[in-house]
Amino acid sequence: MDRVFIENLTVETVIGIFDWEREIRQTVALDLEMAFDIRKAAASDRIEDTLDYKSVAKRLIRFVEQSEFQLVETLAERCAGIVLAEFPVAWLRLRLSKPGAVRGSSAVGVIIERERQPEP
């Protein structure tokens, strides 16, 4: 399956478990790989036939900016759920990192993979 990707989408949000983290906005970065067959779009050269990565990015930015989760795990799971529910994506890999969260590292975070669940 082809993959459409978004790399290093940075967003300011409230994230963290400590009291001081609940009072500030911190940067998180998202990297996404989304399974999507691009052949129809490649043949037609029309945006209507592809996965509009700008729409995906704008939707995630809006959600993450408004969120106030404690854990990056929760934020990553919710972001994956939005993409799978609202866009024609069969599978995704999402990497969510929190730069500067641990002294001595450039970032910490999670990488998750999720598939669209079949309709019951």
pLDDT recorded at residue 26 = 94
Q: Which residues are catalytic?
A: 98
pTM: predicted TM-score of the whole model, two decimal places: 0.93
- Residue-level pLDDT at 55: 97
Query: Which pLDDT score, from 0 to 100, does residue 91 have?
Result: 97
The SS3 assignment for 69 reads strand
To the question of domain 3-115 being in CATH 3.40.50.300, the answer is: no
**How many whole angstroms from its chain centre is CA 116?**
15
CA distances (Å), origin 68, targets 12, 18, 74, 101, 119 = 11, 12, 10, 16, 30
Q: How far apart are CA 7 and CA 53, in angstroms?
A: 11
Residue 104, φ and ψ in degrees, nearest 5: 95, -10
100, amino acid identity:
G
